[in-house]
Structure 1
Amino acid sequence: MPKVLISDKMDPRAAAIFRERGITVDERPGLSRDELIAIIGDYDGLAIRSATKVTKDVLAAATQMKVVGRAGIGVDNVDIPAASARGVVVMNTPFGNSITTAEHAIALMFALARQLPEADASTQAGKWEKNRFMGVELTAKTLGLIGCGNIGSIVADRAIGLKMKVIAFDPFLSVERARELGVEKVTLDELLARADFITLHTPLTDQTRNILSRDNLARTKKGVRIVNCARGGLIDEAALKDALDSGHVAGAALDVFVEEPATASPLFGTPGFVSTPHLGASTSEAQINVAIQVAEQMADYLLTGAVTNALNMPSVSAEDAPRLRPYMALAEKLGSLVGQLAHDALSGISIEVEGAAADLNQKPITGAVLAGLMRVYSDTVNMVNAPFLAKERGLDVREIRHDREGDYHTLLRVSVRTSEGEKSVAGTLFGDSNPRLVELFGIKVEADLAGHMLYVVNEDAPGFIGRIGTALGDAGVNIGTFHLGRRAAGGEAVLLLSLDSGVDETLLAALRGLPGVRKVMALHFG
């Protein structure tokens, strides 16, 4: 029978579930790195929380390892690429602590509204400063949600129960889904201008990092109160301190910080600031839920091969996997491309297959497209839970199968409906295994999608390629390959460059200033 190691402190029900299913389990929390490496080779599964670091070295020693299960959401302590290279499935439990985190956000809203921490400290110091602590009501105030997925929608429900008006910014939230939740879908600028309270419920990605930047904080309503129980790095902490000191922001409560553990922060001691040590998931119910879920998921996989909430493996049968693998690689790259280039105000997506692809199970292909698309905004999305997340946000997903034969022996087309109209990309497989882009927003172009890339829309005119090549060369950025396409001679053209390194905002700004440039974006494909 399989053998599992629980290497972090976890609710005892997890071990009980493994034993009930006939799996041998050892509970060894607190192991050092060397101690873990010395014994990990004896185990088929590893159940962890946040303390154990599943590094490349640990995985190299885990010669029998089949699955790593994280009781919780974040998997920053797991080297997922190394796990994938060794055929180890990495699972998490993304929804086990949703209610707990949502309730903590509501609790911090109350703490800010009534200055509870300061009033408690003052009273216990023997003071009776009743007139000092004048609070505000939540009733009739406008709550702005940045992110309205699983946790955000729970916060919305609780806030509506408190008679608050709720507005939400979430590119994947449809108007119909917003209506079901009783919230108003708005742009980020609208939210900043209207919200009395702002809570953040989005993962940390390149698009969401410092979403409450100094500029965006300046655009908020004077007297706003801000709560972050999601991820450190969503708020510019230095700018937040300045906004608190100036009085523009009346209060802020952070459960998460850029650097954790946050033993020192410039925000500490700032009037109007409340902090907790990453307690979002710290309730007995949440700890029990994630422990039970991770044990059940790991046991199912070890005993039956069933896959749930895997971060590096789709839900695909053993028979279909070899045929589907290159198609899913193509699908994820096309979804990622669309997600990076046209991710705002999405209302729907269509996935069309024709030729050889039309003979396959389309569900895994759709899951791969959605995973690539939504990974722009979510660090926990995968091919298994992407369809659920899309449905949760009201994203209209359509699958279309064509029996016709086209210009390619197999073709996959991904089209998204946005506020600017429909945008479409298409790709094929060369040699039945190599994903290749063949069409980008109506322009024929052949390109591999890998590593660091640069997307440029420009006027088709002599000398342009030389100008952009010179600009990149002067910045020390080497071009690997370049791919060109245009609608017509002298019209709009598209340039896709693969680069040996990424480009920073300073270089992007310089490229946007070149004559003939209409748009420049940095892309990245894992």
Structure 2
Amino acid sequence: MTIKVLIGDSLAPGAIDIFKARGIEVDVKVGLSQDELADIIGDYDGLAVRSACKPNAAVFAKADKLKVVGRAGIGVDNIDIPAATAKGVAVMNTPFGNAVTTAEHAIAMLFAAARQIPAASARTQNGEWPKKDYVGTELFAKTLGLIGAGNIGSLVAERALGIKMKVVAFDPYLTEERAVELGVEKVELDELLARADAITLHTPLTDQTRNILSRENLGKTKKGVIIVNCARGGLVDEEALKDLLDNGHITAAALDVFETEPAKEHALFGTRGFIATPHLGASTVEAQDNVAFQVAEQMADYLLTGAVSNALNMPSITAEEAPRLKPFAELAEKLGEFAGQISTEGFDAVEIDYEGEVCELNRKPLTSAALAGIMRASMKDVNMVSAPTVLKERGIDLKESTQEDSDTYDSLIRIKVRVGGKWRTIAGTIVNGQSRIVAVKDMALEAKFRPFILFINNNDEAGFIGSLGSILGEAGVNIATFNLGREEQGGDAIAMVGIDQDVPAEAMAKIEALTQVRYAKVLRF
């Protein structure tokens, strides 16, 4: 049977050659609407996209043959990953192909903003000679504040240090050891805002990072600061940015990304000191070739052999390993997602223990799956291939241990993360082919993973369960499963409540206000 791939965005021609050389039929149809894409997607085994093609739930609903979507680039905001997962479609990206290009664009924007090059160029070419109107800012010996010190952020730091800037960095996952290695100073966000002469952003858009440069935080910056965002729209309060440019508190700002794109009209356009580019961070010949070739190779490997690499919604495993390894990779990833969601304030060490028969398997993809799960709570684009590298870049310690025998289960995986000097622990196993949580904080229980789990750490006191049930009932939240664990009567306890929908904010506030509750959070899987 012929394997067919649809290329829905402009890719380097070499990507088409890669598919054809491996016997895969290719159609190129650029500029399709979601309805048009939905009408034809049923004919294809693979879909290659960049950022303009946006396969949504309606597209995946008709994708009866589709096995893989490959994103030539890092961000996958344009792909409905939950819908793809529900349909059994692998979603892959290319995490490292355009890092250098994006870092260089951020540095270019910083120079352009510091010297107001675009405005000066436009007026000069218009027949003026406005030399006195453009007295710029020297970057030498100034302090650059990095928000996000991962792959791209570290490359920006390297280049800024090369022009003799000082660099301070805010990143919950950056350790002191990694900061020393990079040559930057690790600081909290408020200190960065107060000290930085220029601020660049290098973080994904998550619940934790959305609007990280809010009106309040922009107001904490030094007068005369420069703001550069080549990461994701939505990280900066654009309305506040305009106001502070207008009143002169911010000297200049350069945005390559906007909250709503394409940004063909915007209140910032024409503002004094403002520079804009149309999401060009990854737009170089080298980067476009790299990500196009990489995504073609990954998709071809998957379609022809079942090998999965750089996958965001399934473990990266070979076709030979799949039958035994896949259930444990899924367990490790879910345990990691649990640990990551209760450790979003940052952690500095991870330990993964394997016990029993699982020790006989190739544990590398299991560890990668666990790390991807841990980090995905704060980094949406991380995957099994990039997670170990990202962890290493941040200087976070990783230890693995094996024990051939398990006291209770045939196989057990235990994940521990260290937050503020204290360890947070969760363990799981496979029961009848399904992932189960069997311990949290070393308290035994057995709970299924569900799309929504209300996790509560509480004091074991009478009345708690009744109060909790009443609050959820009044909020219209249906309880599917209820599992409890405790150290001893009247001591530390946990509740794992599987629920059919999210908990409204008002109800969550009532739960957190219960006298028995120490910690409560809705976890999503």
Separation of aligned partners in 2, 1:425 and 1:251: 47
SS of aligned partner of 1:522: strand
Distance (whole Å) between structure 1 residues aligned to residue 470 and residue 37 of structure 2: 51
- Residues 162 and 90 from structure 1, CA distance in 2 versus in 1: closer, same or farther, beyond 3 angstroms? same
Q: 1:412 to 1:74 in 2, by over 3 A?
A: same
- Displacement of 1:321: 1.7
Q: Deviations over 1:108-152 (max 9, x none)?
A: 111221222333344445554433333211111111211112111
In structure 2, the partner of 1:150 is 151
Q: Say whether the 8 Å CA contact 1:202–1:377 is kept in structure 2.
A: no
Q: How does 1:98-497 map to 2 (within 5 A)?
A: 98-431=99-432, 433-497=433-497
Distance in 1 of aligned mates of 2:133 and 2:297: 52
Asked if structure 2 preserves the Cα contact closer than 8 Å seen for 1:199 and 1:226, the reply is: yes
Tell me whether 320-329 or 369-378 shows the greater mean CA deviation.
320-329
Is the alpha carbon distance of 1:195 and 1:462 closer, same or farther for their aligned partners in structure 2, counting shifts above 3 Å?
A: same
In the TM superposition, residue 189 of structure 1 has moved relative to its aligned partner by 3.0
| 1:502 paired residue number | 502
How far has the Cα of 1:58 moved from its partner? 4.1
Deviation at 1:33, TM superposition (A): 5.2
Does structure 2 conserve the Cα–Cα contact (< 8 Å) formed by 1:314 and 1:384? no
Task: Check the 8 A contact 2:205/2:380 in 1, yes or no.
Answer: yes
Q: Name the SS of the counterpart of 1:156 in structure 2.
A: helix
1:338-372 C-alpha deviation (Å, 9 max, x unpaired): 11112334222111111232232212221211111
- Match status 1:52 vs 2:53: yes
Offset of residue 452 of structure 1: 2.3
Aligned to 1:76: 77
Tell me by how many angstroms 1:104 deviates: 1.2
CA distance in 1, matches of 2:251, 2:522: 37
Q: Describe the SS at the equivalent of 2:161.
A: helix
Q: Deviation digits for residues 129-180 of structure 1, max 9, x if unmatched? A: 4333332111111112111121111111111111111122223333332222
TM-score (norm 1): 0.90
Name the CA shift for 1:508/1:238 in 2 (closer, same or farther; >3 Å): farther
2:14 is matched with 13
Give the deviation of 1:86 after TM superposition: 4.4
Contact 1:70–1:93 (Cα < 8 Å) also in 2: yes
Three-state SS of the structure 1 residue aligned to 2:10 is coil
1:56, distance to aligned residue in structure 2 (A): 4.5
Tell me which moved more, 309-318 or 32-41.
32-41
Corresponding residue SS for 1:357: helix
Alpha-carbon distance between aligned partners in 1 of 2:381 and 2:413, rounded to the nearest angstrom: 25
C-alpha distance in 2 between matches for 1:430 and 1:514: 34
Query: 2:26 is matched with which residue?
Result: 25
Partners of 1:514 and 1:160 in 2: CA distance: 50
CA distance in 1, matches of 2:271, 2:504: 33
CA shift for structure 1 position 87: 4.2
Whole-angstrom CA distance in 1 between matches of 2:276 and 2:504: 33
Shift of 1:337: 1.2
**In structure 1, how many angstroms separate the alpha carbons of the residues matched to 2:309 and 2:519?**
40
SS in 2 for 1:428: strand
1:457 and 1:494 mapped to 2: Cα distance?
Answer: 4
Match of 1:519 in 2: 519
Q: d(CA) in 1 for partners of 2:119 and 2:510?
A: 48
Amino acid at match of 2:375: M
Structure 1: how far apart are the matches of 2:386 and 2:425?
A: 24
Separation in structure 1 between the aligned mates of residue 74 and residue 42 of structure 2, nearest angstrom? 25
In structure 1, how many angstroms separate the alpha carbons of the residues matched to 2:313 and 2:492?
A: 38
SS at match of 1:137: coil
Q: Residue 191 and residue 487 in structure 1: after superposition, are their counterparts in 2 closer, same or farther (change >3 A)? A: farther
Q: Which amino acid aligns with 2:373?
A: G
Offset of 1:409 from its aligned partner? 3.0
Pairwise CA distance, 1:375: 0.5
* 1:70 shift after superposition: 2.1
Aligned partners of 2:307 and 2:319 also within 8 Å: no
2:271 counterpart SS class = coil
Cα offset, 1:220, TM superposition: 2.9
Give the drift of 1:82: 4.0
Q: 1:67 to 1:237 in 2, by over 3 A?
A: same
**How has the CA–CA distance of structure 1 residues 513 and 351 changed in structure 2, closer, same or farther, with 3 Å as cutoff?**
same
Q: 1:298 to 1:187 in 2, by over 3 A?
A: same
Aligned-residue offset at 1:229:
0.9
Letter in structure 2 aligned against 1:437: I
* C-alpha separation in 2, matches of 1:18 and 1:448: 41
Deviation at 1:374, TM superposition (A): 0.9
CA contact (8 A) 1:147 1:202 kept: yes
SS of corresponding position for 2:55: coil
Equivalent residue letter for 1:181: L
**CA-atom RMSD, angstroms?**
2.7
Matched position secondary structure for 1:338: helix
Long gaps (5+) in structure 2: none
Output the amino acid matched with 1:188: L
Secondary structure at 1:131 match in 2: helix
Does the 8 Å contact 2:144/2:198 carry over to 1? Answer: yes
Call closer, same or farther: CA 1:35–1:262 in 2, change over 3 Å.
closer
- Contact persistence 1:226–1:251 (CA under 8 A): yes
Instruction: State the distance in 2 between where 1:128 and 1:468 align.
Output: 71
The TM-score normalised by the length of structure 2 is 0.90
| Structure 1 Cα separation of the partners of residues 89 and 98 of structure 2 | 25
Which deviates the most, 47-56 or 416-425?
47-56
Per-residue CA distance 1:294-333 (angstroms, 9 max, x = gap): 2222333344444332223322233432222322222112
**How far apart are 1:32 and its partner, in Å?**
5.2
- SS in structure 1 at match of 2:132: coil
Residues 474 and 244 of structure 1, relative CA distance in 2, 3 Å threshold: farther
Structure 1 gap segments, 5+ residues each:
none
Q: Partners of 2:39 and 2:460 in 1: how far apart?
A: 61
Determine helix, strand or coil for the equivalent of 2:177: helix
Q: Give the AA of the match of 2:266.
A: S
CA contact (8 A) 2:475 2:503 kept: no
| Partner-residue secondary structure (3-state), 2:282 | coil
Question: How many residue pairs align between the two structures?
Answer: 524
CA contact (8 A) 1:427 1:437 kept: yes
Tell me which amino acid in the other structure corresponds to 1:107. A
Q: Cα deviation per residue 1:463-513 (whole Å; 9 max; x = unaligned)?
A: 333334444444444443333333343333333333332235554444433
Amino acid at match of 2:107: I
